[in-house]
Structure 1
Amino acid sequence: MNIRVRLTLLFALLVASIMLVFSFSVYYLYNQYREQEFRKRLRDKALTTVRLFEDVGGITEELLHDISRNDLTTMYKEEITVYDAHNQVVYDSGEEPYHINANFLNQVRQGKDVSLREGDKEIVGVRYIDQKKQVLVVVAYAIDKYGISILERLRTILITGWAVSLLMVVLAGWLFSSDALRPVSDIIEQVKNISARNIHERLKIGRQNDELAQLAATFNDLLSRLEDAFSSQKSFVSHASHELRTPLAIMMGQLEVSLFQKRTIDEYQETIKETIEEVKKMRDLVNGLLELARLNDEVSQNHFSELRVDDLLWQTRDILIHHCPDYDVQIKFEEFPEEEALLQIKGDSALLQTAFLNLMENGCKYSPDHHVSLTLRAQEDHIRISFSDRGVGISDTDLPHIFEPFYRANSTQYVKGYGVGLALTRRIIELHNGRIWVFSQMGLGSQFVVTIPF
């Protein structure tokens, strides 16, 4: 069952239930009013008859005929019976008295106006005290033929009206649901036409302020993120292919040249050394790509452990100095915390060491004096680490892109690298719920600021 049919049925069921309750209420209330009004007429007729009976000392058949002919309030099959204190009939307007049980008469004699219904006949009992202080019971009964006829007519009208209205409600519900779901159908058709070839297209938003417009806007945001992901992937593959092709081309050229003619052992050794250097470059690039791909698959935080940031920084510095003795890394504290717990964070030591090593190495590599200065400060809810160098700096044009894979600033083209390190570093910091910023000015150097929460 699709949404349109479901909405139509639910709408029809709801409105039909409301109309049914309304119709039943109208019928019930009118029936109550009819009974009350008819019994009031019976009571008035009973009192009028007993007073006339008392005034004239009896009602003859001729007098009763004249009264019935001139009385506009005479009801269908109307009968009036008067009982004395011994429950004996002293007057009856019909041919045969209608049998009333003693319990009914006793209740009326006690001062209660009693009414009941037997079939179509309405019965009313009224107590009356005559001039001789005798307690009489007057019982009037008749059939409300006119009221019942109207009630039946009303019932027919309500049932017919309810059935016709139900059909109209179903039709209106179908049209209403069609109009309400038309934007959904439009969204479905538009989404069907979007693929990887035209992922730049966006859904058209019709009504600007309803939930369907919000749904379309959410789809557009999703498409924007997917487009960015496709573009990033395309750029990633393109740059990776280019970076891998260069050393492969160099190695192939060197080896082919070596095969053109016989060479000395020293020349072969030189070719092998150059080829090994290119292989090392490829290894470093592939390792960086694999690490970046692994981090993009969301490394779990379950194996994070307590780490002291200062110890980790010193260990990373020692590793860098061991491989590059001419690099100079200075670590200092702005304010050394009194509690050692303010230097501890939860994280992966290997990943954080990779991120810190990239920042230290970049600072030294791009500085003429190969010097980078680290400043560590423990704040309220995080640790702040700044990496400052005195390098060539990064232009305002390059700053928004330096964390993109394989992107390299124009001012750093002369230095060996692949543009993977900063992308990898930012991903590692984000996995630790941290943030990284960069501040730079051409000719004055750069400062990378990392914050990691406790």
Structure 2
Amino acid sequence: MKIKDRIALYFTLISTSMLLAVLCVVYFTFMKFLQADFFERLTDRTMVTAKLYLEADEISRDALSDVRHKYLQKLNGEVIRIYDNQNRATFIGDSAQYWTKATINAVRKKKHLQYKDGERQVVGIYYKDNQGDFVILAAATDQGTHNRLDKLLKIMLFTFISISIIVLLLSRWVAKKMLKPLKKFMEEVKKVGAKNLEFRVEESQTKDEIDLIAQSFNHLMEDLEQAFILQKTFVANASHELRTPLTRMMITAELALSKARDTKAYQTVIQSIVDDIENIEHMITGLLALAKMDLELIESQLSPIRLDELLIKIQKEWKQHKNLDLEIINHLTDNVAIIVSANLVLLQIALDNIIANAFKFSDNKNVSCHLVEETDLLLIKIIDQGPGIRASERDDVFKPFYTKAADAGQKGEGMGLYIANKILHLFNGNIKISAEQKSAFIISLPILKQ
């Protein structure tokens, strides 16, 4: 059974049960009220009978009977008896005993007695008169009450069935309306696949359970997307970062083996290979740290880093292949102000990726790097001489596997800027494209508080 139907059924059962309880209370209350009212009517008839027969001494018995039948409406199955102190029926023409002596004596003892005898209601009173002590008993069937209760029961049954149907239909409508966001959520979940892990279900502002489910699902999708991207990122970045030193090692080794050389030349070659292996080891360490993408694990590898020294190191490495114009602008006299907390290998990978991207899309023209201190942040502004990034692409260049290589005639995996952005976020940093200069990237990192 669907949740919608279960909610409608449970709500209907609860509502109809409460309605049934209320109707039963009303029915039995009304029934007791009518019974009590009929008992009072019977009591009144016994009192009237006592007044007519016992106190009106000068009127004959037949005349009293005529008055009684003329002015008192006869009840259904009505029987009235007056008993003297010998428990004999008297005054009324019908002298049948009708009630037992035990009942008559019970009335004498209790002074007033009322009870039900099957469908008949009986009232008895003890009446003391100058003529003696008498017991007056009256019984009748309250047919009017039975008729009223039958009609009331039919009305209540019709009302109960009608309201139950209305409640069921309304509860189904309410359940459908309440579960509409859940149905929409399920339809959106069906759209998720391996090819669109970036898809997110719509979150409402109701802050209800369905919204919490949507938030939890989106968080799960973020983790799955990151895990999926991480797998591709690691492969792409490993290929991206390790290809150059491996190629250099291979070329160096082949050149060394191409002809006989002296010991010093071999030592130089071996030292070069050792340096490349050491760089590869650092790269692998950084790539593994990046693959974890876990801030708690990264935090244990953070250390104070002077940005100016790191940029000078990067400049020397790039100067072997490119012409990197590095300009450091620092208005502070205390050099401690240009220290940040980061992982050295990862931060260099991020900066290298951004610089490599600048060289690639500026056709290997000069790239300048400016270091500026601003309030509690250090800004690194990397400017190239390329065509820049169009405004429509600025939100996409930091997405994984996004590349504009078709426009620039360049090859690439589309991972460089994504990796750089992820790394900088690990260190509470940020990267954006300058609003004033479309060929400039601005990197911001918080200054390490001493």
Q: Distance in 2 between matches of 1:392 and 1:253?
A: 43
What is the TM-score when the length of structure 1 is the normalising length? 0.63
- Superposed displacement of residue 57, structure 1: 6.1
Structure 2 vs 1, CA of residues 389 and 199 (structure 1 numbering), >3 Å: closer, same or farther?
Answer: farther
Q: Distance in 1 between matches of 2:77 and 2:60?
A: 18
- Preserved contact between residue 308 and residue 338 of structure 2 (Cα < 8 Å): no
Secondary structure at 1:407 match in 2: helix
Counterpart position of 1:134: 132
1:390 aligns with 2:335: yes
- Superposed displacement of residue 120, structure 1: 0.4
Counterpart position of 2:33: 33
Equivalent runs, 1:207-356 vs 2, <5 Å = 208=206, 210-213=208-211, 215-217=213-215, 219-220=217-218, 223=221, 235=233, 237-259=235-257, 261-266=258-263, 267-290=265-288, 293=291, 296=294, 355-356=302-303
- Preserved contact between residue 61 and residue 91 of structure 2 (Cα < 8 Å): no
Counterpart position of 2:166: 168
- Superposed displacement of residue 10, structure 1: 1.0
- Preserved contact between residue 236 and residue 406 of structure 1 (Cα < 8 Å): no
Structure 2 vs 1, CA of residues 32 and 172 (structure 1 numbering), >3 Å: closer, same or farther?
Answer: same
Q: Distance in 2 between matches of 1:110 and 1:243?
A: 114
Counterpart position of 1:64: 65
Which AA in structure 2 matches 1:67?
R
Structure 2 vs 1, CA of residues 183 and 94 (structure 1 numbering), >3 Å: closer, same or farther?
Answer: farther
Which AA in structure 1 matches 2:282?
D
- Superposed displacement of residue 8, structure 1: 1.5
Structure 2 vs 1, CA of residues 93 and 225 (structure 1 numbering), >3 Å: closer, same or farther?
Answer: farther
Q: Distance in 2 between matches of 1:404 and 1:95?
A: 121
What is the TM-score when the length of structure 2 is the normalising length? 0.64
- Preserved contact between residue 367 and residue 389 of structure 1 (Cα < 8 Å): no
Which AA in structure 2 matches 1:126?
I
Q: Distance in 2 between matches of 1:426 and 1:204?
A: 25
Cα shift readout 1:386-428 (whole Å, capped 9, x = no counterpart): xx98389489xxx9xx977931276599xxxx999xx99998x
- Preserved contact between residue 84 and residue 90 of structure 1 (Cα < 8 Å): yes
Cα shift readout 1:119-140 (whole Å, capped 9, x = no counterpart): 001001122222x173322111
Identity of aligned residues (%): 26
- Superposed displacement of residue 447, structure 1: 4.5
Structure 2 vs 1, CA of residues 116 and 177 (structure 1 numbering), >3 Å: closer, same or farther?
Answer: same
Q: Distance in 2 between matches of 1:234 and 1:101?
A: 106
- Superposed displacement of residue 25, structure 1: 0.8
Q: Distance in 1 between matches of 2:337 and 2:64?
A: 131
Q: Distance in 1 between matches of 2:19 and 2:238?
A: 70
Q: Distance in 2 between matches of 1:449 and 1:426?
A: 18
Secondary structure at 1:126 match in 2: strand
Structure 2 vs 1, CA of residues 263 and 200 (structure 1 numbering), >3 Å: closer, same or farther?
Answer: same
1:406 aligns with 2:349: yes
Structure 2 vs 1, CA of residues 447 and 8 (structure 1 numbering), >3 Å: closer, same or farther?
Answer: closer
Counterpart position of 1:118: 117
- Superposed displacement of residue 228, structure 1: 6.1
- Superposed displacement of residue 108, structure 1: 3.4
Counterpart position of 1:97: 97
Say which of 145, 153, 156 aligns to 2:154: 156
- Preserved contact between residue 347 and residue 424 of structure 2 (Cα < 8 Å): no
Secondary structure at 1:286 match in 2: helix
Counterpart position of 1:51: 51
Counterpart position of 1:4: 4
- Preserved contact between residue 198 and residue 225 of structure 2 (Cα < 8 Å): yes
Give RMSD over aligned pairs.
Answer: 4.5
Cα shift readout 1:197-234 (whole Å, capped 9, x = no counterpart): 33444433567565534544554565556656666665
- Superposed displacement of residue 294, structure 1: 6.1
Counterpart position of 1:83: 83
- Superposed displacement of residue 101, structure 1: 4.5
Counterpart position of 1:341: none
Cα shift readout 1:294-322 (whole Å, capped 9, x = no counterpart): 683967xxxxxxxxxxxxxxxxxxxxxxx
Which AA in structure 1 matches 2:48?
T
- Preserved contact between residue 291 and residue 424 of structure 1 (Cα < 8 Å): no
User: 31-40 or 277-286, which moves further after superposition?
Assistant: 277-286
Structure 2 vs 1, CA of residues 295 and 214 (structure 1 numbering), >3 Å: closer, same or farther?
Answer: closer
What is the aligned residue count? 353
Structure 2 vs 1, CA of residues 404 and 67 (structure 1 numbering), >3 Å: closer, same or farther?
Answer: farther
- Preserved contact between residue 126 and residue 137 of structure 1 (Cα < 8 Å): yes
Counterpart position of 2:108: 109
Structure 2 vs 1, CA of residues 82 and 145 (structure 1 numbering), >3 Å: closer, same or farther?
Answer: same
Structure 2 vs 1, CA of residues 403 and 185 (structure 1 numbering), >3 Å: closer, same or farther?
Answer: farther
Q: Distance in 2 between matches of 1:275 and 1:93?
A: 140
- Superposed displacement of residue 3, structure 1: 1.6
- Preserved contact between residue 436 and residue 449 of structure 1 (Cα < 8 Å): no
